[in-house]
Amino acid sequence: MVGSCSLPHDAPMAPQTLSTQRRTRSLSPLQSRRAVPTVIDDRALRAHVLRRLSFGARAWQVEELEGTSPTDLIEQLLGAEPFWPDDPVLGSDDDYSRLPAWWLDVMSDERAGVHDRMIWFWHGHLTSGLDKASPSLMYRQHQLLRTHAMGNFRSMLQEITVDAAMLYWLDGAGSYAGAPNENYARELMELFALGHGAGYTEADIRSAARALAGWWVDGDTDDEVRFDPDSGPTESLPFLDRSVASASEVVDAVCDHPACAPFVAGNVHEHLVGAWPEPGRLDELARVFADSGLEIRPLVEAIVRHPSFLEQRLNRPRSAVEWFIAVRRLFDLSIDWWPLDLLGQVPFNPPNVAGWSGTARWLSVGAEMTKAQVAYDNAWETATLDEGDPVGDLLGRAALYEVGQPTLDVLWQAAGAVESRRDRSTLLHGLLAMSPEFSLA
Amino acid sequence: MPATPARITRRELLKWASAGAGAAAVGVGTYAAGRSGTPSASGVLAAASDPTMAPASAGQRPRSPDGSVAVTPTAPSPIAPVQSPVDVGQRLLVVVEMAGGNDGMSMLAPYGQGAYYDLRRSTAIAATDVLALDDEVGLHPALTRLHGRGAAIVQGVGSFDSDGSHFEMLARWWAGAPSAGGIRDTGFLGRLADVIGDPAAPAVALSVGSGATPAIASRSASTVAIPGADAAGYLAGAGDDDPFRRLFQEGFAAFGTGASMFELEARIRGLKTQSAAFASVLDGLAGEEGDGGYPSSDLGQGLRLAAQLFAGEQGVRIVHVPMHRDFDTHDDHNGRYPALMDDLDTSLNAFLDDLAARGLSERVLVMTTSEFGRTARDNDSGGLDHGTASNALLVGPVNAGRFGEHPSLTDLDDNGNLRATVGLDQYYATVAEGWFGVSASEVLDTGATAIPGIF
């Protein structure tokens, strides 16, 4: 049980929550007013839970939940009704700007919780993108993910295999069994369901490609997906030690493959916990997932109810979208999403079929420059901070409860270097957005 | 039959998305300004610059007396050897990455073999259209300037146990490990930077892309990934006349100092320091008016930045430029591929002109990479699926001509794909030894040796 005073052994050493250890400096009388707890308290844990199971913590949420233990908060979030946002207004089909903006607003909504978190995960896992599918088809796919995000993996995979956006994205549309396009067949196994090196062969890919052929998107009837028997498979094909003659049988064979449950379970764990599970833990989770018939909810519950979920804090960088939403929230501004293009994470437009895999991509010099531009240019309209304790006020607004001494020193130094209260607020907001602690998920 | 929607490429999408943002750049531009409009369908490429270039620079230069190049050129070559007179310590490298899987047989078409036309029923280039190098092969028709300038073409580059996955093969190329299970913790270019770079340089290797690519992951040298130079002014360069921005920059730099309590924090602090240092290099580049003859593509802009950084002599020795284009031509190959080659030809041409104007021609080598070629036979979507071996280009102070052996079009592997004739590690060894005078064993663990005759 993670209580208010226990810092688990294998968790990354979180920095102390400041104040009493601050070195005495003569910079400003402002400093002496700062007073916050020195232990990892439930607020830090609640903020962690909200960061991982929704799209970030708000200060008022963390405060309002006073008395709610982190584990109770996890249960609250798991039990919450899914959020069904209003449809986006898409505009014309060549207007690519609205859909990413719409999703960012949905993610920023306080009703967006675990269900929305998992929609975002599946988008990065079962990828399609605006560079090959129209906004309306991408939204149709989004609704598919929204329907299945906490439901059944097999059903979701069956449907997305013949989803119009996916048929365009991975070239299934118009593939002809006589000389099929192999793109979807390969990625279905490598990236969506089994993992590279899971034991399938090039011959399996060729068979699957033929069995998956025949589907197309009818532009004359509102992009209805149709099957053309003349282009489809004409015989049963050997695939993963069985025989298949349709897309549906290919997906079933993939879902029944022993590599499927561990591969998917490991990926969900990595997303929520920030690290691939240890082998023993992966076996447990794969069993939960497989025994439930590939139901996603029991898998998510098993992941987040485990002590490791609360222990593994501050162990991965914020992705660009997570950082961006956090800045918009801290600045209380609806900043236009274009910087996300430079940061490499536009919702509905993953960079490639592997989505935004790994976390190293979020730590680059280029990203620092773009983030500095966002932080500097938008800090002018932020809240004016408390006169006596601007740093404490700022950290509270950011729902940051684990901040190290070096960062506090930088913020206090900056606070003391500016005369006007407004300029001080601007500078502190801009700098906090660039601090190491603000970069962590 | 299936209807295909009008394709808006990612590039066009993003061009449109960021229209104007680049110009807002340094200072206090704002992202929040509303933007509207529709994607520009007009080509990404600017007008071609003068196609009447002289071919690759004088072949009559004397061989460098220090001769630290480890390989003796012995292979037959159609053109007399060209030796850069520049000391290896002054040499620079640009790597053009064609992620997605570049079809080697479209870049260099084996038009002299009937088997090419048997395999490529819908995607072959007509013999009358190729830019012939000899009676067997010719360059893609869009590579006119390159054809005039000359290049060393390394044929059949790949892995001897290739894999069909983009990600597996990109990882192998980035790492310089031709087979599964090779080195993965650093990139070939990162290790090269470790050997040739100044340890104090703000960046020895640079990747002009939005993410931290494993290609430049190093052990010790500073290697940096940026999308462009535009935003450097936020992190460096504020003077006395801009005290507020200076406080922001000082605060940012200060985040790089101080004790870290855990590994990720230390990494992030290191990144702050590195970002501030490299931003000040970029901020110091002289602003240059106009487009300099470069197209607006990622490749064109990346090459332009490379030329500026090389001229600035701040320690950058290697620039990695991902083209960010759609080489993954599973369908409509012939509709999509010419734009890729046009971008390559136009961008390289502008770059080589620019290098000449800056007096850098003899110091810069350009090499191309791609994770794999495409299937020997085309599919019924008029496209090509994931294949194996491809061809690669070396441009600059090289002996123009063909090197390595073109893969057989009749003796295909069990999956009906081309058999590689040159390992990707051998291709890398050629550049390490032939261009930088770095023994291949310092940067590769496969025992690969250089292909002779190229330098």
Is the pLDDT reported for residue A15 higher than 90? no
B138-172: pLDDT as tens digits: 999 999 999 999 999 999 999 999 999 898 899 99
Q: How far apart are CA B309 and CA A413, in angstroms?
A: 34
Q: How far apart are CA B155 and CA B162, in angstroms?
A: 16
pLDDT confidence of residue B51 = 30
Q: B395 with B280, same domain?
A: no
Taking an 8 Å cut-off on Cβ atoms, the answer to whether A378 and B166 are in contact is no
Structure tokens at B304: 């332009």
Which residues in chain A have their CB less than 8 angstroms from residue B333's CB? none
Q: How far apart are CA A178 and CA A184, in angstroms?
A: 16
Q: B314 with B210, same domain?
A: yes
Q: Which residues in chain A (263-282) have CB-CB distances under 8 A to chain B?
A: none
**SS3 of A384, please?**
coil
Total domain count, chain B: 2
Check residue B449 and report its DSSP letter: -
A39-49: pLDDT as tens digits: 457 899 999 99
Q: Are B247 and A418 in contact (CB under 8 A)?
A: yes
Number of H helices, E strands in chain A: 21, 4
Within-domain flag for B26: no
Q: B405 with B439, same domain?
A: yes
For B210, the closest of A217, A366, A374 (CB atoms) is A366
Q: Which residues pair with B109 in a beta bridge?
A: B138
Q: Are B56 and B365 in contact (CB under 8 A)?
A: no
Q: Are B212 and A361 in contact (CB under 8 A)?
A: yes
Over residues B161-185, mean pLDDT: 90
Q: B339 with B433, same domain?
A: yes
Within-domain flag for B47: no
Q: B402 with B353, same domain?
A: yes
- Which has more pLDDT, A21 or B385? B385
Q: Are A434 and A375 in contact (CB under 8 A)?
A: yes
CATH number at residue B301: 3.40.720.10
Q: Which residues in chain A (54-83) have CB-CB distances under 8 A to chain B?
A: none
Q: How far apart are CA A23 and CA A35, in angstroms?
A: 14
pLDDT confidence of residue A20 = 29
Taking an 8 Å cut-off on Cβ atoms, the answer to whether B224 and A174 are in contact is no
Considering B284, B306, B322, which residue would you say is the last residue of a domain? B284
Taking an 8 Å cut-off on Cβ atoms, the answer to whether B2 and A217 are in contact is yes
Q: How far apart are CA A433 and CA A370, in angstroms?
A: 12
Q: B306 with B373, same domain?
A: yes
Q: B131 with B277, same domain?
A: no
Q: B381 with B420, same domain?
A: yes
Q: How far apart are CA B26 and CA A360, in angstroms?
A: 26
Which residues in chain B have their CB less than 8 angstroms from residue A354's CB? 166-167
Enter the ipTM. Answer: 0.89
Q: Are A104 and A345 in contact (CB under 8 A)?
A: no
Q: Are B401 and B152 in contact (CB under 8 A)?
A: yes
**CA B172, B178, B179: angle at the middle one, nearest 5?**
95
At A17, which amino acid appears? Answer: T
A136-174: pLDDT as tens digits: 999 999 999 999 999 999 999 999 999 999 999 999 999
| pLDDT-based confidence at residue B287 (cuts at 50, 70, 90) | confident
Domain hosting B266: range is: 230-284
Within-domain flag for B252: yes
Q: B158 with B278, same domain?
A: no
Taking an 8 Å cut-off on Cβ atoms, the answer to whether A364 and B226 are in contact is yes
Q: B125 with B238, same domain?
A: no
| pLDDT-based confidence at residue B75 (cuts at 50, 70, 90) | very low
At A55, which amino acid appears? Answer: F
Distance from CA of A41 to the nearest CA of B (A): 18
Q: How far apart are CA A381 and CA B30, in angstroms?
A: 12
| B238-241 long-range Cβ contacts below 8 angstroms, 24+ apart | none
Q: How far apart are CA B145 and CA B350, in angstroms?
A: 10
A218 lies within 8 A of chain B by CB? yes
